[in-house]
């Protein structure tokens, strides 16, 4: 059955979770594997437009199916919850180019608003370091922060991106 057919049932949350997380799992392991229609819908939407495409398709299908307004609102809220619960996997799939990257999806998956991003960008542009400031404000030690920077540097090297050396002097931003 197609995903929309499940959304009118009492167990719609389970079906939507299975479809969303099943699509993510397939995209991580075997993008072309045969699967159910509901998972295939979700997989197709994710790979052909990302989270935004999933929202648009579900909204369109709910309207066409004449799903009750309250259920439509519940479905939209649950989709947002699923995105947050699976943010690491979604961002990784965006980084790998499996799910097309776009700013709206990145903000949604990262749990950040555009205004928060703009503020971080302003700080970075002024030679600030909002990531490190947040880590310090939340009790992370300089040693832990240095370890995280080493992990990031290692990933950048593996990804063949330019290597940035974090300054040892913690008074510098």
First CA to last CA distance, the chain: 54
**What span, in angstroms and rounded, lies between the C-alpha atoms of 74 and 30?**
31
- pLDDT tens digit at each of 173 positions of the chain: 789 999 989 999 999 999 999 999 999 999 999 999 999 999 999 999 999 999 999 999 999 999 999 999 999 999 999 999 998 899 889 888 899 888 777 777 767 778 887 887 788 888 888 878 877 887 888 888 888 787 777 767 766 654 455 555 555 44
φ/ψ bin of 78: left (φ > 0), alpha (ψ from -120 to 50), beta (otherwise): alpha
Q: What pLDDT is stored for residue 126 in this prediction?
A: 84
Q: What pLDDT is stored for residue 112 in this prediction?
A: 74
φ/ψ bin of 99: left (φ > 0), alpha (ψ from -120 to 50), beta (otherwise): beta
């Amino acid at each position: 059955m197609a995903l929309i057919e499940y959304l009118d049932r009492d167990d719609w949350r389970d079906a939507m979770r299975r479809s969303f997380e099943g699509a993510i799992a397939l995209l991580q392991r075997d993008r072309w594997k045969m699967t159910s229609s509901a998972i295939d819908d979700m997989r197709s939407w994710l790979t052909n437009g990302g989270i935004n495409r999933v929202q648009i398709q579900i909204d369109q299908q709910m309207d066409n199916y004449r799903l009750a307004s309250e259920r439509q609102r519940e479905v939209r809220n649950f989709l947002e919850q699923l995105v947050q619960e699976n943010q690491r996997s979604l961002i990784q799939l965006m980084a790998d180019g499996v799910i097309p990257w776009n700013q709206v999806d990145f903000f949604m998956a990262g749990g950040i608003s555009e205004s928060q991003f703009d503020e971080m960008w302003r700080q970075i542009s002024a030679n600030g370091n909002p990531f490190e400031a947040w880590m310090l404000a939340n009790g992370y030690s300089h040693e832990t922060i240095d370890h995280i920077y080493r992990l990031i540097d290692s990933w950048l090297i593996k990804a063949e991106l330019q290597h940035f050396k974090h300054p040892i002097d913690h008074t510098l931003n």
